[in-house]
Chains A and B, each alone.
Chain A
Amino acid sequence: MFKHLFKLIWNKKKQNFLLMTEMLVSFLVLFAVFTLMMYYYDNYKKPMGLEYENVWVINYGNSYQTKNTDSLNLYYETLRKTIKSLPHVREISFVSGNTPFSQQINNGGMTYKGKHIDHINNYTAEDSYKDVLNLTLLEGRWFNKEDAVSKNRPVIIDNNLKEVTFGKESAVGKLLGGDDDKNKMRVVGVIQAVKKDGNYANPGPGEYFRTDTGSFRWLSKILVKVDPGSDAAFEGKLYKTMANYMKNSNVEIEHLTNKLRSTNYFALVPMIVLGIVSTFLVINVALGLFGVLWYNINKRKGEIGLRRAIGATGNSVSAQLVSESMILATLALIVGAFFAVQFPLLNVFDLRAEIYIEGMLLSILFVYLLVLICSLYPGKQAAAIYPAVALHEE
Chain B
Amino acid sequence: MLKNYFKIAIAVLKRRKFFTFISLFGISFTLTILMVLTAFIDKIINDNYPDKKRDRMLYINRIAQVGDGTMQSGTVSYYFLSHYTGMMKTPVKVGISSMFSGTNTYVNNKKISVSYKYTNADFWDVLDHDFTEGKPFNKQQVSNADRVAVISEDMKKQYFGDAPSVVGKYFEADNVNYRVIGVVKNVPITNYMMYSDIYLPYTVSKADYKDKSYSGAYMAFLLAATPGDVPKMQAEYENLIKRVPVERKDFKHVYSHANTFFRSYVDTGNEKQSGVVIVVTAISIFVFIFTLLPTLNLVNINITRIMERSSEIGVRKAFGASSKTLVYQFIVENLILTLLGGVIGVVLSVAALSVINNADLISNLELRINFSVLFIGMLVCLVFGFISGVYPAWRMSKLNVVTALKAQ
Contact = CB atoms under 8 A, between A and B. Distances in A.
A260 B69 CA distance: 33
Interface stretch (A164-172, A242-250, A322-330): A242-250
B174 A235 contact: no
B303 A288 contact: no
Given A250-B206, A287-B22, A22 B304 contact: no
A292 interface: yes
Nearest to A63: B206
B244 interface: no
A110 B369 CA distance: 51
B235 interface: no
Contact of A26 (B101, B103, B207, B293): B293
Nearest to B211: A62
Contact of A291 (B18, B174, B208, B290): B18
B135 to A, nearest CB: 26
Given A232-B111, A251-B103, A284-B26, A61 B207 contact: yes
Contacts of B395: 14
Interface stretch (B48-56, B139-147, B294-302): B294-302
B106 interface: yes
A287 B29 CA distance: 13
A295 B18 CA distance: 11
Given A232-B109, A250-B206, A291-B19, A284 B294 contact: yes
A285 B25 CA distance: 11
Most chain A beta carbons < 10 A, residue from B33, B206, B297, B308: B297
A233 interface: yes
Interface string A7-35: 00000001100110110011011000000
Nearest to B32: A280
A64 to B, nearest CB: 12
Contacts of A250: 101, 103, 116, 174, 206-207
Contact of B296 (A14, A21, A231, A247): A21
A277 interface: yes
B103 A62 contact: no
Given A61-B207, A277-B33, A295-B304, A284 B297 contact: yes
Interface in B167-211: 174-175, 206-208
A288 B106 contact: no
Interface residues on B, range: 35 or more
A179 interface: no
Nearest to B175: A243
Nearest to A253: B104
Contact of A285 (B103, B175, B289, B293): B293
A280 B33 contact: yes
Contact of B26 (A14, A15, A288): A288
A288 B104 contact: no
B15 interface: no
Given A239-B106, A249-B206, A292-B304, A29 B293 contact: yes
Interface in A231-277: 231-233, 235-236, 239-240, 243-244, 247-254, 269, 277
Given A252-B104, A287-B22, A232 B290 contact: no
A334 interface: no
B370 to A, nearest CB: 22
A248 B303 CA distance: 73
B292 interface: yes
B229 to A, nearest CB: 37
B110 A232 contact: yes
Contacts of B30: 284
Q: Is the interface of B mostly helix, strand, loop or mixed?
A: helix
A281 interface: yes
Contacts of B292: 25
B102 interface: yes
A29 B296 CA distance: 14
Given A240-B175, A295-B304, A235 B207 contact: no
Contacts of A296: 304
B349 to A, nearest CB: 13
A25 B296 contact: yes
A62 B300 contact: no
A62 B207 contact: yes
Contact of B111 (A61, A236, A251, A287): A236
A291 B299 CA distance: 12
Interface string B101-137: 1111010011101001000000000000000000000
A235 B104 CA distance: 10
A59 B206 CA distance: 14
B106 A232 contact: yes
Contact of A22 (B33, B101, B293): B293
A243 B103 CA distance: 11
Contacts of B301: 288, 291-292
Nearest to A235: B111
B298 to A, nearest CB: 8
Most chain B beta carbons < 10 A, residue from A26, A248, A250, A283: A250
A120 to B, nearest CB: 16
B296 A22 contact: yes
Given A62-B206, A244-B175, A288 B22 contact: yes
A236 B106 contact: yes
A277 B37 CA distance: 11
Interface string A54-69: 0000010110010000
Given A284-B297, A291-B304, 18 more contacts: A18-B296, A22-B300, A232-B109, A236-B111, A243-B174, A248-B207, A250-B103, A252-B104, A252-B113, A254-B102, A277-B290, A284-B29, A285-B297, A288-B298, A288-B300, A288-B301, A291-B22, A291-B300
Q: Which 3 A-B pairs have the closest CB atoms?
A: A243-B175, A288-B297, A236-B106
Interface of A: 14-15, 18-19, 21-22, 25-26, 28-29, 59, 61-62, 65, 231-233, 235-236, 239-240, 243-244, 247-254, 269, 277, 280-281, 283-285, 287-288, 291-292, 295-296
13 contacts: A14-B395, A21-B296, A59-B102, A62-B206, A62-B208, A232-B106, A233-B109, A239-B106, A240-B175, A243-B175, A252-B103, A283-B25, A291-B22
